[in-house]
């Protein structure tokens, strides 16, 4: 899908994967209906914890999660996490909750609906998105979870 949109598959940036995420967010999920049963979440965080053998060095993080509840009892989700080197720009995008951690934006939207363009515009105006959009992330993971 990324290659079809003209995105760089060898070193994707947030800017290059964003059209794919928007398309994914706008596509309804079969067998999921009702308010709050299919949601998109964009969020940012900053960790200034020093690197250790078991932890990553200081980094700025963007998470984009699609959370859905097909039977309204169990919630499932797919999360795309992008990690960036820490520098002064990302630090300016969060509110520090302690000496080593800060949290930024949390923008929710109803996935698979005509609300996604509004959600997309809100995400695009968020400071962390602007800082990260053209940078190559240090890490990118896609995880699925349910419970």
Show the DSSP H helices in the chain as ranges: 14-26, 88-91, 116-124, 127-132
Q: How many CA atoms lie within 13 A of 107 on its CB side?
A: 22
Query: Which is nearest to 64 in space by CA: 77, 78, 80, 75?
Result: 80
CA distances (Å), origin 57, targets 31, 36, 51, 123: 41, 35, 4, 26
DSSP-assigned letter for residue 98: S
Q: What is the mean pLDDT of residues 64-69?
A: 89
Per the model's pLDDT, the better-predicted residue between 117 and 29 turns out to be: 117
Domain boundaries, the chain: 3-28+35-146
> pLDDT for 79-110, tens place per residue?
999 998 877 666 677 888 888 888 888 999 99
């Amino acid at each position: 899908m990324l290659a079809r949109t003209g995105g760089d598959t060898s070193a994707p940036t947030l800017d290059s994967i964003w059209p794919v995420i928007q398309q994914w967010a706008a596509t309804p999920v079969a067998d999921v209906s009702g308010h709050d049963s299919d949601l998109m979440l964009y969020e940012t965080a900053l960790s200034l914890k020093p690197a250790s053998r078991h932890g990553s060095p200081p980094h700025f993080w963007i998470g984009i999660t699609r959370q859905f509840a097909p039977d309204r009892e169990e919630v499932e989700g797919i999360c795309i996490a992008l990690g960036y080197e820490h520098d002064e720009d990302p630090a300016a995008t969060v509110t520090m909750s302690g000496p080593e951690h800060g949290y930024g934006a949390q923008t929710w939207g109803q996935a698979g609906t005509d609300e996604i363009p509004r959600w997309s515009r809100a995400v695009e105006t968020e400071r962390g998105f602007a800082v990260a959009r053209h940078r190559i992330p240090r890490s990118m993971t896609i995880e699925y979870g349910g419970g």
